[in-house]
Amino acid sequence: MTFAVVLIGWIFSLCLHEFGHAIVAYYGGDTTVKDKGYLTFNPLKYTHPLYSIVLPVVFLLMGGIGLPGGAVYIETWRLKNRTWQSLVSLAGPVANLIVLIVLGIVLKFVPWENYDANNSIWPGIAFLALLQASALVLNLIPLPPFDGYGILEPFLKDGTRDWMNSMRTWIMLIVFLALWNIPMVNNLFWTQVYIISSRLGVPWELAWDGFDRFRFWLL
């Protein structure tokens, strides 16, 4: 049950994340997103074999990090100005924050403390909320290819932007390697996830119970 709750919920939040990018781009001037089918909640419209399937699943299995893996291609030159470009990038993390807030409210007002460990959706709901918090923190890293960099990119000097974009793949690899191999970086990341999720009503122990149950083949 936990596996199903998390998988279905994560697909929904992925669609909402990418829909957020698309709807802001639409009002910002890139109306082609409608023709591309991005203003829907059809997961197939946001699918990239590597980024939408392989990497998110690997990250979930390795460490419970929510990696939004959709693919929405925005024609940024159509956007009205640099502020709209920045808002398009910001919209994805905001979508994760909205899902996190909603799940936190649900967890705060339901009697999950007495849940049936073998037949309950609440560990899955809590873990799904934790994934939203981790996706939020990860995506706000101000380095490419994350949305945090996309928020700043329109305001960077051309030379700086060109250099950063040329290093996108290497920077992404360095960030992920640091998250797994440098304790200080890992602790900083999960501390931020803990602070955000806890303040928004996510029970930490229940969330990690959900993580364990999500990987049911290891129990």
Q: Which residues contact 34 (CB under 8 A, 6 or more apart)?
A: 26
Nearest in space to 70 (alpha carbons), one of 42, 87, 51:
51
Q: How many residues does the chain have?
A: 219
- Of 18, 75, 153, 205, which is the active-site residue? 18
183-199 and 122-139 helices, crossing angle to 10°: 120
| Active-site residue flag, 18 | yes
CB neighbourhood size of 16 (10 A)? 20
Place of tokens 């073998």: 118
Q: How far apart are CA 212 and CA 62, in angstroms?
A: 12
Q: Which residues are catalytic?
A: 18
